Amino acid sequence: MQMIQAVRGMNDILPEEGLYWQFLEQQLIQLAKNYGYQEIRFPIVEATSLFKRSIGEATDIVEKEMYTFEDKGGDSLTLRPEGTAGCVRAAIEHGLLHNQQQRWYYLGPMFRHERPQKGRYRQFHQFGLEIFGTAGAVQEAELLLMMLRLWKNLGLDHVISLELNSLGTSEVRARYRERLVEYFKQHQEQLDTDSLRRLTTNPLRILDSKNPQMQALIKNAPVLLDDLDEVSKKHFDDLCQILDDCDVKYKINPRLVRGLDYYSHTVFEWVTEQLGAQNAVCSGGRYDGLVELLGGKITPAFGLALGMERVIRLLQETKTLSAAPDVFFIAVGEAAQRRSLSLAEELRTLIPSLSLTLNCDGGSFKSQFKRADKSGAEIALILADDELANNKITIKFLREERPQQSLSFDEIVAMLRQQRKKE
């Protein structure tokens, strides 16, 4: 029979990798709480129109990458390709934006039908942060400082750097768009098929092209930062000044335009050279127009999303996490086996932080001992006929040069507690 396999671009997270996911999730949630963010959970499936309207009809995501289907009632639904749209929809729907500030985080799978490659998947996971109700550069700087703290906490600050740009207001972008179209039209023969199409739909995205043959053309294209109006320029200068004052290193990248249409003013990406072409580990920006576009009152908003698979890949290169239990319990013989079950339960009650693997399916001492060693445990507890007769348990240190000892249950408890304190 033919084997059924996972869908292309959608990955299983196996137990060993799960350790890194749990570690990252704990770090992210703790950080979010430290900065006063609350969790929001919203559906994986939303009305297709939500993404079309917010991300933009002429973006790659909406044009080519959405998992869209008609449900049994005939409604067009889409698996969320990102979290910002759902977040804003929920905020408006529940009336959480009137005269209120909100700081939210979310975490979960997103879906984009992209060509899978290293660091780019069709089901991937984002950790997102969204802030509603503050318009200033201080809020932007705080969010960037928060991420810098995260990279430091994860030991990744030396491989991740910040790139910034300002897209100005929608009027600025409309003017810039005209200049850009004029420029690219003058060099139309150098544009590839994708860029020719974008010339009429989304010319700013031509700047994002990875085609090596177009890089010289892109390099000489007009720069949006030169077109900024006074207000946008002051906003961006303020942010740069605050970051300088806080000693945050960044590079201004005038070609950074982002692949979603809802941005204005500040946009940014944290990038790394360790992941090949998929170099953005976390990106976001200001999207002051989106709440109104989705039917709410004008509300300033700013946020980001971090690609969890990408950060985990970086973590795996720098950090070793182990799922080894503290203790592996060996019991030889049927009576010992049964007794070991109740002793293990008592140990778990008395030392709640202990992780203990009980060998439940017998076997010779030798085969159980092999399992104990393979489990990576520091300590093996051994219960066989001798121990059973004398009311003792043997404790053996698997990773230290220390003599094994035969001890009473209470002495074992004391020793394990001692051992946990040392860690």
* Sole residue written with tokens 């010992």: 336
Q: Which of 303, 329, 382, 384 binds ligand HAM (CB under 6 A)?
A: 303
| CA 423 to chain centroid | 29
What is the C-alpha separation between 208 and 327, in angstroms, rounded?
A: 53
310 forms part of the interface with ligand HAM (CB under 6 A): yes
144 forms part of the interface with ligand HAM (CB under 6 A): no
Q: Which of 91, 150, 167, 304 binds ligand HAM (CB under 6 A)?
A: 304
281 forms part of the interface with ligand HAM (CB under 6 A): yes
Residue span 230-269 as binding mask against ligand HAM, x where in contact by CB under 6 A, dash where not: -----------------------------xx---------
What is the C-alpha separation between 272 and 280, in angstroms, rounded?
A: 7
- Least Å from the CB of residue 8 to ligand HAM: 12
Helices in 187-270 by DSSP H: which ranges? 193-201, 215-219, 230-245
- Least Å from the CB of residue 282 to ligand HAM: 5
Q: 162 and 144 in contact (C-beta within 8 Å)?
A: yes
86 forms part of the interface with ligand HAM (CB under 6 A): no
Q: Which of residues 326-385 bind ligand HAM (CB under 6 A)?
A: none
* Sole residue written with tokens 């060996």: 330
What is the C-alpha separation between 180 and 174, in angstroms, rounded?
A: 10
What is the C-alpha separation between 124 and 89, in angstroms, rounded?
A: 21
Residue span 93-132 as binding mask against ligand HAM, x where in contact by CB under 6 A, dash where not: -------------------x-x-----xx--x-x-x-x--
208 forms part of the interface with ligand HAM (CB under 6 A): no
Q: Which of 60, 140, 261, 309 binds ligand HAM (CB under 6 A)?
A: 309
What is the C-alpha separation between 167 and 279, in angstroms, rounded?
A: 21
- Least Å from the CB of residue 145 to ligand HAM: 17
Two structure tokens written together for 106: 């979310």
Residue 123 or 405: the one with the smaller Cβ distance to ligand HAM is 123
Q: 181 and 199 in contact (C-beta within 8 Å)?
A: yes
- The residue ranges that bind ligand HAM (CB under 6 A) are 82-84, 112, 114, 120-121, 124, 126, 128, 130, 259-260, 280-285, 287, 303-305, 307, 309-310
